[in-house]
Amino acid sequence: MQPDSNSFEEVRGRLHEMGQVISHRGPDDDGEYVGLGIGLGMRRLSIIDLEGGHQPISNEDETIWAVCNGEIYNFRELRESLIHKGHRFKTKSDTEVLVHLYEEYGLQAFQYLNGMFGAALWDEQRKQCILVRDRLGKKPLYMWKDVKRVVFGSEIKSLLRDQDVSRNINHSVMSEYVALGFVPGPHTLFEGIEKILPGHYVCIGNGKIEQHRFWDVAVSPNEQVSKAEWIEQVRESLEDAVRVRLVSDVPLGAFLSGGIDSSAIVSLMARISGQKVKTYSIGFEGKDEFYNELKYAKIVADAFQTEHHEIIVKPKVAELLPKLIWHMDEPMADSAQITTYLVAELASQSVKVILSGVGGDEIFAGYRRYLGEEIGRWVRYLPRPVRQQLLPALLKKLPKDRHSYWSNLFRLGNGFMETVNQPFAERYGSYLNIFTPEFSEVLLRRNNGHKERQSGELSSSSLGELFRQVEKLDPLNQAMMIDLKTSLPDDLLLLTDKMTMACSLECRAPFLDHRLVSLAGTIPPKFKMEGLKLKSLLKEVVQPWVPKDIINRSKRGFGAPIGSWLRKDLQTLVAEFLSESQIKKRGIFEWKIVKQILEQHQNRVRDHTDGILSLLNFEIWCQTFIDSSDPSRSL
């Protein structure tokens, strides 16, 4: 914010309001700094230097001020280096390191940071504000601007406390939302509000707003290194990533799903800390037993003698959706927001910091969709008649009983053959699209007076430039890089941050240490998915640490059985928010298509779980943020 000299008290009041609405992110402390041209506010969750880390914080002569949400893991080493260069520190907090680092290196300072952060710096001498977001987008940072001012914050609801910030739907990104179930950055579903991109900083001053990249993932496979050497390098890097994330002045624990990633984190925490690790898991019972991973989590908990905590989820928890969407700021078609919130709520009763295995799939090839890219690489070497005639004919001979094992193979194989000869953007869209491009076009109303792009083709959307940037990479790295720059920061990391911070819990992700991510970018694809085995290299990396039953188990996502809940327990919620009258009143979706989606799902003709969740969450979001006169609270 940029006040004039006569409005300091008014700005302090506004900053206080903006802070209050996100007090869940920082219940331990708050503060404001207002100067000529700047207003900074902060809500603090105290993790490092509990007594002395009050923010905003300045350098010695108060010419540089900073607020920072997140953690700088290498702050101690940086602090020592800066002291040797003559800088004087008044606290032991990691945020003060950011101030002196900028004082010493200017805009090159961000290169030295290892951490997760959304930060703002005020340079009094240059009359310049700098907004910076960490390399992978682990912490959110939003910005709104007009001709006179810039308003920024860690959550959109904070920006909305400023009366000049409008609450309008960004219709230009509705096609992306319908296709993916989230909005890729830098856009949001709020018109005029954008995300600072991961690995970027924005300079605001002298009548200019300029955005710059300070880091990017480099993909350059090194064929000269043996698999054994890669395994050793990854082990060392992952172990160090966990070690630096154990620095805390408050209790910490770990999410434990029973998968390879979280199990590896728990094993390293136990070995490095030498203490009993607190672990937290979530499960389901009855007909939802398929989603239950508690038995695998228990195997790991027993192996490392952790202090283990479990929670069993009932369908009624979906009534939380309005509250969760208020915390999310934007709708998202990902049931992991429910499970993440509930396990975070459980963990927050005994710790303030949690470690998570998020990110392992994106850098070590853990998603099933990557198999399609790797298989396709070989299929495209086959003669055209074999690809276009023989293979499809063989697939048609598979049994079509939809309740049999073969039906799944038939579905996957058929879908694969339909896309194997398409350009990468179309293939990628087929893996992730909630609705087909054709379905998306008829779902979004054509004559609603807004300028939505009707095409559901991701290549023609705002993602088009990203697809062009990766077109020279091998197929596996193409898919992984798009995930790393879209679904990771704008879906997984966003919901992880928002759902944990909703419980005043800080979540750290060792797999997304930028040094480990950079290392993974140099590993050839043939090792990441050797023999069409997902995470083949990572499985060898963690083999000495993790129980055999965990390494050999099949992958399962961290979601909830929303599909079955939508048919039964959530019928009342669906009827309320997706009624004919409500859909027509909103005027964005075609009611006859929405009705078709609901009926097909209810009658088990087609699984529309993600699609219904995206529509349901969108309408809840509209009523919470767009319709409400007070978006500072949930429905």
Give mean pLDDT, residues 602-612: 90
Q: Are 133 and 215 in contact (CB under 8 A)?
A: no
Dist CA 614 CA 365 (whole Å): 26
| 310 vs 393: which has the higher pLDDT | 310
| 613 vs 422: which has the higher pLDDT | 613
* pLDDT tens sequence across 153-166: 999 999 999 989 98
Q: Is the pLDDT of residue 14 over 50?
A: yes
Region(s) of the chain under CATH 3.60.20.10? 8-213
What's the confidence (pLDDT) of residue 373? Answer: 75
Mean pLDDT (the chain) is 88
Beta strands in 424-526 (DSSP E): 506-508
* pLDDT tens sequence across 97-109: 999 999 999 999 9
* pLDDT tens sequence across 251-301: 899 999 989 999 999 999 999 998 899 999 998 876 656 667 899 999 999
What's the confidence (pLDDT) of residue 395? Answer: 59
What's the confidence (pLDDT) of residue 48? Answer: 75
Q: Is the pLDDT of residue 405 over 50?
A: no
Dist CA 290 CA 489 (whole Å): 28
What's the confidence (pLDDT) of residue 296? Answer: 93
Locate 473 and state its tokens. 């990479």
Report the SS3 class of residue 307.
strand
Q: Are 498 and 22 in contact (CB under 8 A)?
A: no
Dist CA 430 CA 134 (whole Å): 30
Give mean pLDDT, residues 10-34: 92
Give mean pLDDT, residues 116-125: 97
* pLDDT tens sequence across 450-503: 555 445 556 556 788 898 999 899 989 999 999 999 999 999 999 999 999 999
Dist CA 378 CA 121 (whole Å): 50
Closest among 342, 349, 304, 343 to 320, alpha carbons compared: 342
Element (H, E) at 340: helix 336-347
Dihedrals phi, psi of 629, to nearest 5 degrees = -80, -15
Q: Are 500 and 116 in contact (CB under 8 A)?
A: no
Q: Are 238 and 511 in contact (CB under 8 A)?
A: yes
Class of domain 227-365+479-551: alpha beta
Q: Please tell us whether the domain made up of 8-213 is placed in CATH 3.60.20.10.
A: yes
What's the confidence (pLDDT) of residue 227? Answer: 97
Q: Is the pLDDT of residue 408 over 80?
A: no
Give mean pLDDT, residues 191-220: 96
Phi-psi region of 498 (alpha: psi -120 to 50; beta: other; left: phi over 0): alpha
What's the confidence (pLDDT) of residue 244? Answer: 96
What's the confidence (pLDDT) of residue 47? Answer: 80
Give mean pLDDT, residues 345-366: 96
Q: Is the pLDDT of residue 350 over 90?
A: yes
Give mean pLDDT, residues 624-630: 86
Q: Residue 564: pLDDT band by 50, 70, 90 thresholds?
A: confident
Dist CA 355 CA 248 (whole Å): 12
Strands 150-153 and 142-145: antiparallel
What's the confidence (pLDDT) of residue 391? Answer: 63
Dist CA 450 CA 191 (whole Å): 12
> In terms of pTM, does the model score above 0.75?
yes
What's the confidence (pLDDT) of residue 409? Answer: 47
C-alpha dihedral over 73, 76, 79, 83, to 10 degrees? Answer: -170
What's the confidence (pLDDT) of residue 375? Answer: 73
Q: Are 593 and 443 in contact (CB under 8 A)?
A: yes
Task: Return all residues near 375 (Cβ < 8 A) that are at least 6 apart.
Answer: 416, 532
Dist CA 377 CA 365 (whole Å): 15
DSSP state of 380: T
* pLDDT tens sequence across 26-49: 998 899 999 988 999 999 888 877
Dihedrals phi, psi of 541, to nearest 5 degrees = -60, -45
Closest among 411, 441, 429 to 466, alpha carbons compared: 429
* pLDDT tens sequence across 410-437: 555 555 656 666 788 888 888 888 987 7
Locate 32 and state its tokens. 């404001």
What's the confidence (pLDDT) of residue 362? Answer: 96
Lowest mean pLDDT among 84-93, 110-119, 332-341, 399-408: 399-408
What's the confidence (pLDDT) of residue 607? Answer: 87
Q: Using a CB cutoff of 8 Å and minimum separation of 24, what contacts does 161-167 make?
A: 161/14, 161/17, 161/18, 161/21, 161/632, 162/1, 162/14, 162/18, 165/192, 165/193, 166/191, 166/192, 167/625, 167/626, 167/631
| 321 vs 134: which has the higher pLDDT | 134
* pLDDT tens sequence across 41-78: 999 888 877 777 889 999 999 999 999 999 999 999 99
Where do we find the tokens 């709520």?
345
Share of residues in the chain with pLDDT > 70 (%):
86
Closest among 157, 146, 147, 153 to 190, alpha carbons compared: 157
Region(s) of the chain under CATH 3.40.50.620? 227-365+479-551
Q: Is the pLDDT of residue 545 over 70?
A: yes
What's the confidence (pLDDT) of residue 407? Answer: 47
